C-alpha cells in the first residue's frame, strides 16, 4: 500500500474531527478497520487504549501509531501530516480573516446541528469499545469509578487512568488468586 493512500485517508479523518479525539473513533474505525482493513477491530481498540494514555492529542497519537504499524516510520510521518494538515489550513485561513467569521450566523447554525452529531459520534465510540469488553464485576466497577473521577470529582484523566488501571490489575490478580484457592 502506498504512502499517498495513507496520507489521503488520514487527511479525510483530520478534516472531519470535531469535538476532540473520541468523536473521531467511529470515523477512523470505518476507514482503517472496515474499509481498508489495515488492522483488525480488537487491535484497533487496543491502539485507542494506548494512544489516549499517552501525552498529546488522541487524533495525532492514533494516526502515528496506525501509520507506523502499517508502513513504518515514513507511514507514521505521512499519516501524522495528513491528520494535522486540515486543521492547520483551516486555522491559517481563519487567522488571516479573523474578524469576519465570528459574525457569520450561518456558521453558528451549521454548528448547532453538527455539535449534537459530535456527541452522537462520541456516544457511538463508547458503545463500540464497550462491546469489546467482558463486563464482569471488576470492569463495571472500574468503568463507574472512571466516570466518578473524571466527570464528578474533576480529577485529571491521566491520574484517573494510572490509579484505576493499577487498581484494576490488583483486583483481577486477587480474584484469580482466590478462585484458585477455592478450587484447592
Partner 1 sequence: MFDVYMTFFKIGLFGFGGGYAILPLIEEEIVAKSRWLTNSELLDIIAISQITPGPIAVNGATFVGYRLQGVLGSAFATLGVVSASFLIVLVVSDFVIKNRELPWLEVIFSSLRPIVVGLIVSAAVSVGKTAIIDIKSMLIWLGGLGLLLNTRIHPILAIVLGGVVGVVLY
In total, the chain counts a number of residues equal to 184
Euclidean distance between CA atoms 103 and 161, whole angstroms = 40
18 to 56, 89, 146: CA distances (angstroms): 16, 15, 23
Task: CB nearer to partner 1: give 6 or 60.
Answer: 60
Name the minimum Å distance from CB 32 to partner 1.
12
Continuous H helices in the chain: 3-15, 25-28, 41-51, 58-96, 98-101, 105-130, 137-147, 157-183
Using alpha carbons, select from 94, 91, 67 the residue that is nearest to residue 78.
67
Which of 7, 9, 10, 27 forms a contact with partner 1 (CB under 8 A)? 27
Is 175 one of the binding residues for partner 1 (CB under 8 A)?
no
111 near partner 1 (CB under 8 A): yes
Quote the least distance from Cβ 3 to partner 1, whole Å: 16
Q: Which is nearer to partner 1, 4 or 104 (CB)?
A: 104
If one asks whether residue 21 binds partner 1 (CB under 8 A), the answer comes out as: yes
Under rule CB under 8 A, residue 18 binds partner 1 = yes
Q: Binding to partner 1 by residue 157, rule CB under 8 A? A: yes
The binder of partner 1 chosen from 1, 4, 130, 174 (CB under 8 A)? 130
- List 1, 4, 120, 174, residue binding partner 1 (CB under 8 A): 120
- Which of the 8 DSSP states describes residue 16? T
Q: Should residue 9 be labelled a site residue for partner 1 when binding is judged by CB under 8 A?
A: no
Can residue 4 be called a binding residue for partner 1 (CB under 8 A)?
A: no
> Which residues from 31-70 bind partner 1, rule CB under 8 A?
45-61, 64-65, 68-69
Distance CA 156, CA 161 (A): 9
**Secondary structure class of 182 (helix, strand, coil):** helix
Q: Where are the alpha helices (DSSP H) in 16-57?
A: 25-28, 41-51
Of the candidate residues 97, 100, 102, 137, the single one contacting partner 1 (CB under 8 A): 102
Q: How far is CA 164 from CA 61, 92, 116, in A?
A: 22, 40, 30
Residue from 4, 74, 126, 174 binding partner 1 (CB under 8 A): 126
Amino acid at each position: 500500500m502506498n504512502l499517498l493512500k495513507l496520507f489521503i485517508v488520514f487527511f479525510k479523518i483530520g478534516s472531519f474531527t470535531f469535538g476532540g479525539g473520541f468523536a473521531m473513533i467511529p470515523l477512523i474505525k470505518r476507514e482503517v478497520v472496515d474499509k481498508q482493513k489495515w488492522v483488525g477491530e480488537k487491535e484497533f481498540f487496543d491502539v485507542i487504549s494506548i494512544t489516549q494514555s499517552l501525552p498529546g492529542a488522541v487524533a495525532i497519537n492514533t494516526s502515528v501509531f496506525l501509520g507506523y504499524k502499517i508502513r513504518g516510520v515514513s507511514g507514521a510521518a505521512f499519516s501524522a501530516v495528513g491528520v494535522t494538515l486540515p486543521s492547520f489550513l483551516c486555522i491559517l485561513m481563519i487567522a488571516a480573516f479573523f474578524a469576519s467569521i465570528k459574525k457569520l450566523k450561518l456558521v453558528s447554525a451549521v454548528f448547532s446541528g453538527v455539535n449534537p452529531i459530535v456527541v452522537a459520534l462520541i456516544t457511538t465510540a463508547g458503545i463500540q469499545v464497550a462491546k469489546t469488553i467482558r463486563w464482569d464485576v471488576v470492569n463495571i466497577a472500574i468503568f463507574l469509578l472512571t466516570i466518578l473521577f473524571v466527570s464528578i470529582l474533576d480529577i485529571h484523566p491521566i491520574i484517573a487512568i494510572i490509579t484505576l488501571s493499577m487498581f484494576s490489575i490488583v483486583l483481577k490478580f486477587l480474584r484469580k488468586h482466590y478462585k484458585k484457592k477455592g478450587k484447592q
